[in-house]
Amino acid sequence: MKEDKNKNITNSDTQTENTDITPQVASKDSKKSHYISRAEARRIAQENFEHVKRLEAYKKRKNVDESEYVTQMKDNKNVVEFDDLHTYFFTDGGTVKAVDGVSFNVPQGSVVGVVGESGCGKSVTSLSLMQLVQGPTGQIVSGEIRFKGEDYLKDEEGKKIPIYTDELDEQGNPVQLKNEWGVPQYKKGTYVYNIAKMPMDEMRRIRGSQIAMIFQEPMTSSNPVFTIGEQLDEVTMLHIEGASKEYAKARSIDMLKLVGIAMPESIYKRYPHELSGGMRQRVMIAMALICDPELIIADEPTTALDVTIQAQILDLLRDVKDKMNGSIMLITHDLGVIAEMADFVVVMYAGRIIEQGTATEIFDNPCHPYTIGLQKSKPAVNKKVDRLYSIPGQVPNPIDMPDFCYFKERCNKCINKCNGEYPPIVRLSPTHTVSCYLYNDIFEKTSAKEKNNG
């Protein structure tokens, strides 16, 4: 079996037996590099089975003490902190390291754009945050995803803490506050959860109410056999305890109005196939907003739409972000969309972050040859070109990543050092980092300075 030179990932998250997970790959000895013999396939399948069984059991564990997944933010201004996240797919062909050590933050009230070519791990990063990675093959293997949200406060015995009114009942006991549908109310407070360790049952409370997701293709992410109204109402009924049908309907119609849909009462009664692509995407945004989430993840929200509608949907997203005072994680392969919207930009390549910084840093001073290539391939109105630039080559095979810089085979700025191991992260400013040997001098100087100071 090939030794993975990057590292043997110890699955510290699962905290079960601390078994090493060595990514499974086909033997390099095979004459054809993508050929897997029957014996190898059997070995990979057997080892995958063990990993997947353990990781699935960990996700489905019951009666878990909150202390296992309640944590602290490193910086309280963030709503999400990804910290060295690894999410793998244990396929029969080998282990796909879809997300391989990703760390970045989503500050409160900001738009963070995640950009990169198709297959770079953008969607898997966001699905990890929702605990929606396609199991059993897809699993969060290690790392943390810290999310700051609101949840019920608990007393020492783990029970919810009631909110009392000033009144006393006939026996002289305080009367618990009830909402307008007669549901008793409990105190809520701010919590930080490590989503990578949260059991699935607990995650269901957060998903959809505190983190909402807008997918690329609204037709496939809405249910064709239910009306728009039924699908919107369901969100309220599911997440607002005791809500009446009338309240759910009024809220759905309000949200349809908020996303700029004319005649919302009529759209409420229609089926998804009766609406245009742009209208369906507006409905999806309305659905995401119903529970007033802290964070909206928009995964290629405009890719399936034509250009004029794209601009409208981006305007709408910007508008709703200000109204809800939340944050947006905007995933796209289109730097143009990022330029319109994002405060911070994260550039991903083959499952890793190769550069990140504020939008100004990434657009005015892109440093990684891949980011520069992406910029060059963006059409510009004031430039006449015969052919739009495209970065030569392809993303490497995710099952068998090289030991050197993943971009090397496509890079036109290679230097000698690039034949060495994967480049370290270099900090160019407090917010701007890049992973490329061209900036290694800065890295070496900084390390030396830190050593001298330390």
Ligand X SMILES: Nc1ncnc2c1ncn2[C@@H]1O[C@H](COP(=O)(O)OP(=O)(O)O)[C@@H](O)[C@H]1O
Q: What's the number of CA atoms in the CB half-sphere (13 Å) around residue 144? A: 17
As measured in angstroms, the least distance from the Cβ of 426 to ligand SF4 is 10
For position 332 contacting Mg ion by CB under 5 A, the verdict is no
| Partner whose binding site includes residue 229, from ligand X, ligand SF4, Mg ion, none (CB under 5 to 8 Å by kind) | none
Strand order of the sheet with strand 426-427?
Answer: 211-214, 295-299, 327-332, 111-115, 344-349, 352-358, 433-434, 426-427
| Nearer CB in complex with ligand X: 213/279 | 213
Write the binding mask 426 to 445 for ligand SF4: x where contact by CB under 6 A, - elsewhere.
Answer: ----------xxx-------
As measured in angstroms, the least distance from the Cβ of 422 to ligand SF4 is 8
| Partner whose binding site includes residue 423, from ligand X, Mg ion, ligand SF4, none (CB under 5 to 8 Å by kind) | ligand SF4
Q: Where are the alpha helices (DSSP H) in 305-355?
A: 307-324, 335-341
| Partner whose binding site includes residue 352, from ligand SF4, Mg ion, ligand X, none (CB under 5 to 8 Å by kind) | none
Contact 344, 359 (CB under 8 A): yes
| Nearer CB in complex with ligand X: 100/151 | 100
- Number of residues in contact with Mg ion under rule CB under 5 A: 1
| Nearer CB in complex with ligand X: 137/440 | 137
As measured in angstroms, the least distance from the Cβ of 423 to ligand SF4 is 4
Which residue has tokens 């014996």?
39
Q: What is the CA radius of gyration of the chain?
A: 24
Q: Which amino acid is at 288?
A: A
Residue 415: CB partners within 8 Å, gap ≥ 6? 437, 438
| Partner whose binding site includes residue 208, from ligand X, ligand SF4, Mg ion, none (CB under 5 to 8 Å by kind) | none
CA-closest candidate to residue 305, choices 211, 215, 213 = 215
| Partner whose binding site includes residue 425, from ligand SF4, ligand X, Mg ion, none (CB under 5 to 8 Å by kind) | none
For position 357 contacting ligand SF4 by CB under 6 A, the verdict is no
DSSP, res 340: H
| Partner whose binding site includes residue 432, from ligand SF4, ligand X, Mg ion, none (CB under 5 to 8 Å by kind) | none
For position 423 contacting ligand SF4 by CB under 6 A, the verdict is yes
| Partner whose binding site includes residue 437, from Mg ion, ligand X, ligand SF4, none (CB under 5 to 8 Å by kind) | ligand SF4
HEC sequence for 110-174: CEEEEECCCCCCHHHHHHHHCCCCCCCCEEEEEEEEEEEEEEECECCCCCECECEEEEECCCCCE
| Nearer CB in complex with ligand SF4: 78/433 | 433
- Between CA 331 and CA 214 the distance in angstroms is 10
| Partner whose binding site includes residue 369, from ligand SF4, ligand X, Mg ion, none (CB under 5 to 8 Å by kind) | ligand SF4
3-class SS of residue 103 = strand
Q: What is the largest CA-CA distance in the chain?
A: 85
Of 374-413, which residues contact ligand SF4 (CB under 6 A)? Answer: 405, 407-408, 411, 413
CA-closest candidate to residue 192, choices 225, 236, 144, 238 = 144
| Nearer CB in complex with ligand SF4: 293/369 | 369
As measured in angstroms, the least distance from the Cβ of 388 to ligand SF4 is 22
- Binding residue for ligand SF4 (CB under 6 A) from 116, 301, 357, 369? 369
- Between CA 240 and CA 248 the distance in angstroms is 9
As measured in angstroms, the least distance from the Cβ of 219 to ligand SF4 is 38
Q: Which amino acid is at 381?
A: V
- Between CA 264 and CA 278 the distance in angstroms is 15
Classify residue 297 by burial, with Cβ atoms within 10 Å: 0-12, 13-18, 19+.
Answer: buried
CA dihedral 101, 106, 111, 116 (to 10 degrees): 0
| Partner whose binding site includes residue 405, from Mg ion, ligand X, ligand SF4, none (CB under 5 to 8 Å by kind) | ligand SF4
Which residues contact ligand X by CB under 6 A?
A: 89, 91, 96, 98, 116, 118-124, 134, 137-138, 398
As measured in angstroms, the least distance from the Cβ of 132 to ligand X is 11
| Nearer CB in complex with ligand X: 197/352 | 352
For position 210 contacting Mg ion by CB under 5 A, the verdict is no
- Binding residue for Mg ion (CB under 5 A) from 11, 78, 123, 327? 123
As measured in angstroms, the least distance from the Cβ of 406 to ligand SF4 is 8
- Between CA 325 and CA 101 the distance in angstroms is 30
As measured in angstroms, the least distance from the Cβ of 102 to ligand X is 11
As measured in angstroms, the least distance from the Cβ of 422 to Mg ion is 23
| Nearer CB in complex with Mg ion: 123/231 | 123
End-to-end CA distance of the chain: 41
User: Which stretches of the chain bind Mg ion, using CB under 5 A?
Assistant: 123
User: Which stretches of the chain bind ligand SF4, using CB under 6 A?
Assistant: 368-369, 405, 407-408, 411, 413-415, 418, 423, 436-438
